[in-house]
Structure 1
Amino acid sequence: MANTVRYKGLISVLDMDKKEVPLFGNVLVVGLGMIGGSFAKALKERGLATLYGADRRESELVLGVSSGVIDHPAMLSSEFIAKMDVIVLATPVRAMESVLSEIKPYLKPTTLLTDVGSTKGSVVEAAKQVFGDMPANFIPGHPIAGAEKSGVLAANSHLFENHMAIVTPLPVSNPVLVDRLHQLWMAIGADVVSMDVEHHDYVLASSSHLPHLLAYTLVDALANSDRSQDVFKFAAGGFRDFTRIASSDPVMWRDVFLSNKKATLATLDHFTERLAVMREAVEQGDGAGMFGVFTRAKSARDHFLRLLEHRTSGQAKEIKPISLRVSPVSSIKGEISLLGDKFLSHKAITLACLSEGISVLRNVDLSGDVLITLQAFRDMGVVIEQVAANQLRIHGVGLRGLKAPIAPINVHESIMSLHLLLPVLAAQTFSSKVIAEGVLLNRPMGNLFDLVHSMGSRLTPSAADCLPVALEPSALEGKVLVVPYGAELLDTTALLALLFLPEGARLQGGSTLEVNRDVFASFFIRLEGQEGGVALSGLPPKGNDITLPGDGMKAAWWMLLASLSPGSKLTLKNVFCERLSKAYWPLLKSAGANFSVQQGKEGGFEVAELIVSFAQLSPLVLNAEQVYEVRDMLPLLCVAAACSNGVSILEGINLLPYYDEDRVQYLVDALVQVGVGCEYHSGHLKIVGGFPAGGEMDCAGDYHLALAMLAIAVRGSGPTKVDDCQKLLNEFTELQEVAVRVGFHCAVAQ
């Protein structure tokens, strides 16, 4: 009769005398170097096996027992081999054939035989030489861990924790033993993946073998130069870090390169070609070319570090919630020159990257989601220099000059970045994948995906029209792109798609083209009305020097704050008119808001200077069409209604996209919480104006809700705390500095 105990989800058997039978039984490690010794020590310290060690150096066996790395020394004889449950070959790869020949006569077919060598093709060939074919119980493996130290005294029982271990089974491999090998590595903390033998050797030739070859060669070349003494004397940390791996075991690495010759040469040839390109760039003084290589390299390494951080931490870093506290005694006075409109910043960066020639973008909002779009193009090889706080110099690569990113494009939670990048990626000559995070992962994208499909692209969403989505190169033959009424993001997607479609392709149904007309014209692209739609002319886009007008959403918010705060007089400069002039300004005027507008044209854009003062607002009455027109700014208008002197009625809330409706419903709940009378049912919203109480509200990390809640707070009867404002501060980086300057009493809550 036996009992069982669990160890990290695995089961060990206990006999009736309570004597534990180790989970993996008898394990023999052949070769007690640093890797073999660490593997043995990791199992032994966790009580997962009875450890035996074999090594041609008797001194290593003695040290292995005395230092607690193994339980017993062993020989490659019938006495030991026949009773082993697992045998791990940790010898140099060129010694594999010899070791396999020794153990072959005594090896049981039920014994799991594996190795830790950094090349797998040569190991498989060695096994075939000895056994005639690959044994079903020999499952090659390779832990991606190590150090420059060698010998059993360098053994580290934690070496494999949060590191990758690659298992390379063959078609003939015993699936039960393959699973057991996975469990073995997982039990000592490794992240285990399976990989094809040939693919493994090429991947490791690039990621591990080539860096070692370069480090050895560089140190040898410098050591034999005329200035070697000074080179080493004055070498800084970069030299030390790069050449650290040249202290590794020379015998082991000689064997690695001889065993993985084909893959190493292929990788070395590719590197030599790239090095020749860089040499020519240095010789020709091609700064842009060098900067492009450095940009792509930095992006690739940053991606590697993110993967490493995620693997070692086990999870993303927790973001500490940030709350803002608002005093209701604010009086908004002064002058604000607004940072560039966020939507225009996204679009201008995209068009500049796809243009021919260099563009200089001034007054760009380099915060929040804009950085996601910026990083995506850097990941695809575009040279983007930040030459001042809000100024970029972008070296355009043309419509199809982007390069394949090293990893999937992550748009995080940026819906704008997604709409801009998908049509661009669909038109490139490389395959790509777009992933996301948070709420964007579960948001259906049927309309967007249908639009990109209509380009003629090969786009495959993961499931149910949601992200992630894969795109494959295809011949784009779309002629007519149809967009629903009022869909500004889809209008922008369609216009970008037209850049890549055959002559005569057109957009049908676009209703928000005015907000795109000026930014496209800045890159010499004209939107021309044709029968049945809108087409583009002036292709391809060309680089230009442009200054972006101020952000419309922030302008709308500052206008509302000044309108609600007694004693206020605020001047807003450089306001982008298109987003406000058609609906938001007229509605505020109808509610009695006190502001003047002086419009003009600067840098090709319609801009305005506004002077806003306090006014007691009247109730708002909005029909469904008006509600839809101002849906982005609807939370702000709900706040205006809550501070008015009567009852406001808003119809058609249920006809909005679900995320806009959800936002309004969430705000209504928050307004009720601070004493504002609200009733909502069947798309009909009634708000009873008055004086909100102070208190605490949670914006759920939503940028629009955070702005609305901060605005209602200026009319509260007491201090108000708005929770979860991290995203707001990421997007609105200048908020706290400007708030102090104009008298808005808003600060991070302690």
Structure 2
Amino acid sequence: MLKFSTGRVLVIGLGLIGGSLARALKQRKLVDEVVGFDLNRAECELGLSLGVIDRIGEDLGQEVSKAGLVLLAVPVKVMETVLAEIRPWLREDTLITDVGSTKGNLVLAARTLFGELPPGFVPGHPIAGAEKSGVGASDVDLFVRRKVILTPLPESAPEATLAIARMWQAVGAEVLQMDVSRHDEVLAATSHLPHLLAFSLVDTLAHEAENTDIFRYAAGGFRDFTRIAASDPSMWHDICFANRDQLLAQIDRFTAGVSRLRDAVDRGDSQALLGIFTRARSAREHFSRILARSAYSPQVQQRPARFLVRPDGKISGSIAVSGDRSISHRAIILAALADGITDIDGFLDGEDSLATLQAFRDLGVVIEGPHQGRVRVYGVGLNGLQPPVGPIYLGSSGTSMRLLCGVLAGQDFATELCGDDQLNTESMRTLVQPLRALGAQIDTADGHRAPLKIMPAQLQSPGAALSVGSAQVKSALLLAGLYTRGRLCIEEEGVSRDHTERMLGRFGVSLQQETEHICIEPGQRLVGTQLRIPGDLSLAAFFLVAANITPGAELLLEHIGINPTRMGLVTILKQMGADIELLDAHEECGEPVADIRVRHAALQGVRIPDELSRLALNECPALLVAAVCAEGETRLSLPENDTFLSNTRLTLMCQALEQLGVVLSVKNNELSVSGGALGGGRLDSGGDPRVAMALTIAAQRAAGPLDIAGCESVGSFCPEFADLARRIGIALFKEED
């Protein structure tokens, strides 16, 4: 096995890139010696005086023979000449790499010269640069958090690739690998084409009679776009020839796109223009987030945040909470599959629902908004979705992944669904198995985890009813049922949320609901409509409990969804003696809605059976706060398919309450909570937004202030929570690191 060394580095070409790497290696003491060679003697002397290199190479052949690594940092046009010159002096264990932005021409030249390529030859390309050039502009940090693409060849020794990768990583770069042709295709689209467009635009406008005025009054957008037209013309001349075929293909694609845009402008086609502009903006934002694994919601906090809450708040007033999370997901999905326009009011501008909205933009649906809860969706019909340009990234939204999987299982194109690190650890077995029973072709990672790769398939009703145990899986199957051959029937193992059934009816889809079955006929046409999404009862729950436990409180929660499958917490609180009144109850867009008035009342501990706890499982953190403030013991039984050990949220909440002095015990999957006094102090929500919000309202009855860490996720779950809490009188202060 060959041993490769980067102890002595020879940099051929002391420009910005070569000089910056030399400076970084030398200043960080990563190598024994950095030698610089350049036909421009002045650049070499400047590099030596600036401390970029240790010494100037006088005899190229001799320097190559002694170097452990040779870096070719010369223009692409002269790469072949330099390779020919150094070839006789290369040892078998010499590492050779480059920094050029095209690879096909370099590899072809190397094969012609060498016949059999040396094992130490690993082409590379740092995606970095600056407006200034030359060794005088070299920057020790130029490659920090920048990407470097290596294109190892079949002949490249793995040890050589590893040595070169570690060198780039040591100067701060992120190293990626791809094959030569893919590299040239990607760079033609992302670097070479934009430069050519900038050159062409400036050249075109410069021929105009009034070009002085054009450039005088150019705004920031023009300057930003055309800045790269100041690049070295000779270098870009050479790149055009070096990457000719890939560049021509990208120019043809761009020309076709501009032609479609021109036609839309000429025809006054408003929807086509909106489609182009919306898809472009969304694609840019989407891929930025995929690369950064960042959030969709601008409210998501990247910095740690904590809530400081004093127990002296007086609760009163009236508020409206954000639109229902579950309904927001379904509104976007069905509006996209409908014919015509759907206007949505009350859309939840949160991380989960934004992931669903973005996914349908990726699938070719034009969506305006959200703006202050308003969204307009231009539906494409049941069979109008388009293949996405890449994987669909869903952040941390398991709801998005499950519901989308049902829709995409019946499409005639392949898709891939992926999420952040947290979502990609969740098992999707209970989702994938029933969909596979319909004939869906879905590949998963180990443990039935995402990414989910969904291939085209013709779905077929299995004849017998499919049994499901969750609302999300039921919804995925109902959505898949729009694409099956034959009537699909679903059997529920227990009561679950029925938002999908209600929303399907709003869009004109007929369901046959029998005692234990729900059946759907395929191919039904969905028709665009108007939707007003009610306030989310799961969010209102925190304020409901806060008013219940605060002496003298009276609060009105406006336009809240009171779907019977979501009323578990309200039912339990009433059993405990809560003073809760529904006002102006009516149905809106298929969902029951009401204003909820709640006043302080003395609560009594009760035993909560599993059928009620199932309906209130999401609200359990708030429910536990009510139990702590009740007289006597409250006992909560979990459903059979859930346990306290596996429920991270309940575990976090119980740990926090125990820190505050609450007496808790678990026996036979039943949690016992003894009512009593709450202490104060520092707590950690574990990053769970519901736990953070529940602890915030618990402060109303605490003996002292609560300092709650891990509250950054509240911004994505309920963006307005802190503002609403302060508005009704809770003494909450938010602190960010």
Q: Which one is further off, 215-224 or 629-638? A: 629-638
Pick from 88, 91, 109 the counterpart of residue 74 of structure 2. 91
Quote the offset at 1:206 in angstroms. 1.0
AA matched with 1:518: R
2:199 equivalent to 1:216? yes
Contact 1:696 1:721 in 2 (8 A): yes
| Distance in 1 of aligned mates of 2:284 and 2:580 | 51
1:339-359 CA-partner distances (Å, limit 9, x unpaired): 322211121122112222211
1:584-612 CA-partner distances (Å, limit 9, x unpaired): 44333332222333422233322223333
2:406 equivalent to 1:420? no
Flag the 1:639–1:143 CA change in 2: closer, same or farther, 3 A.
Answer: closer
2:498 equivalent to 1:526? no
Quote the offset at 1:544 in angstroms. 1.0
AA matched with 2:728: V
Contact 1:451 1:482 in 2 (8 A): no
AA matched with 1:727: S
2:383 equivalent to 1:390? no
3-state SS of the aligned residue for 2:144?
coil
Contact 2:324 2:534 in 1 (8 A): yes
Contact 1:483 1:490 in 2 (8 A): no
Q: Which one is further off, 301-310 or 131-140? A: 301-310
AA matched with 1:42: A
- Partner of residue 20, structure 1: none
Instruction: Give the alignment of 1:159-558 within 5 angstroms.
Output: 159-303=142-286, 305-306=288-289, 319-328=303-312, 330=314, 332-386=315-369, 388-437=371-420, 439-479=422-462, 487-509=470-492, 511-512=495-496, 514-529=498-513, 533-536=518-521, 539-558=524-543
- Partner of residue 720, structure 2: 734
2:552 equivalent to 1:570? no
Flag the 1:627–1:739 CA change in 2: closer, same or farther, 3 A.
Answer: closer
Instruction: Give the alignment of 1:13-28 within 5 angstroms.
Output: 24-28=6-10
1:661-688 CA-partner distances (Å, limit 9, x unpaired): 4433443343333343332222123233
Q: Which runs of 5+ in 1 are unaligned?
A: 1-10, 13-22
Flag the 1:579–1:730 CA change in 2: closer, same or farther, 3 A.
Answer: farther
Q: Which one is further off, 600-609 or 659-668? A: 659-668
Pick from 31, 34, 38 the counterpart of residue 20 of structure 2. 38
Quote the offset at 1:407 in angstroms. 4.8
1:467-526 CA-partner distances (Å, limit 9, x unpaired): 333333333335469665652222222222222323422323374363333222222222
Flag the 1:67–1:368 CA change in 2: closer, same or farther, 3 A.
Answer: closer
| Distance in 2 of aligned mates of 1:222 and 1:655 | 68
3-state SS of the aligned residue for 1:606?
strand
| Distance in 1 of aligned mates of 2:665 and 2:145 | 53
| Distance in 2 of aligned mates of 1:333 and 1:100 | 79
| Distance in 1 of aligned mates of 2:26 and 2:658 | 62
TM-score normalised by L of structure 1: 0.88
2:680 equivalent to 1:698? no
| Distance in 1 of aligned mates of 2:558 and 2:42 | 80
Q: Which one is further off, 61-70 or 106-115? A: 61-70
Q: Which one is further off, 678-687 or 711-720? A: 711-720
Contact 1:575 1:608 in 2 (8 A): yes
Contact 2:482 2:523 in 1 (8 A): no
1:10-53 CA-partner distances (Å, limit 9, x unpaired): x99xxxxxxxxxx6344333333332333333333344143333
2:544 equivalent to 1:559? yes
| Distance in 1 of aligned mates of 2:695 and 2:69 | 63
AA matched with 2:699: A
| Distance in 1 of aligned mates of 2:449 and 2:719 | 30
AA matched with 1:630: A
2:571 equivalent to 1:589? no
Pick from 90, 100, 115 the counterpart of residue 117 of structure 1. 100
Flag the 1:526–1:105 CA change in 2: closer, same or farther, 3 A.
Answer: same
Flag the 1:293–1:46 CA change in 2: closer, same or farther, 3 A.
Answer: same
Q: Which one is further off, 655-664 or 366-375? A: 655-664
Contact 1:324 1:721 in 2 (8 A): yes
| Distance in 1 of aligned mates of 2:43 and 2:461 | 70
Q: Which runs of 5+ in 2 are unaligned?
A: 295-299
Contact 1:116 1:143 in 2 (8 A): yes
Q: Which one is further off, 263-272 or 90-99? A: 90-99
Contact 1:360 1:391 in 2 (8 A): yes
1:191-221 CA-partner distances (Å, limit 9, x unpaired): 2222211111111111111111111111111
AA matched with 2:9: V
Flag the 1:302–1:664 CA change in 2: closer, same or farther, 3 A.
Answer: closer
Equivalenced residues, count: 725
- RMSD (Å), alpha carbons: 3.2
1:335-388 CA-partner distances (Å, limit 9, x unpaired): 334432221112112211222221100122223422222233334443222274
3-state SS of the aligned residue for 2:724?
helix
Quote the offset at 1:147 in angstroms. 2.7
- Partner of residue 134, structure 1: 117
Q: Greater relative contact order: 1 or 2 (C-alpha under 8 angstroms, separation 6 or more)?
A: 2
- Partner of residue 601, structure 1: 587
Contact 1:38 1:157 in 2 (8 A): yes
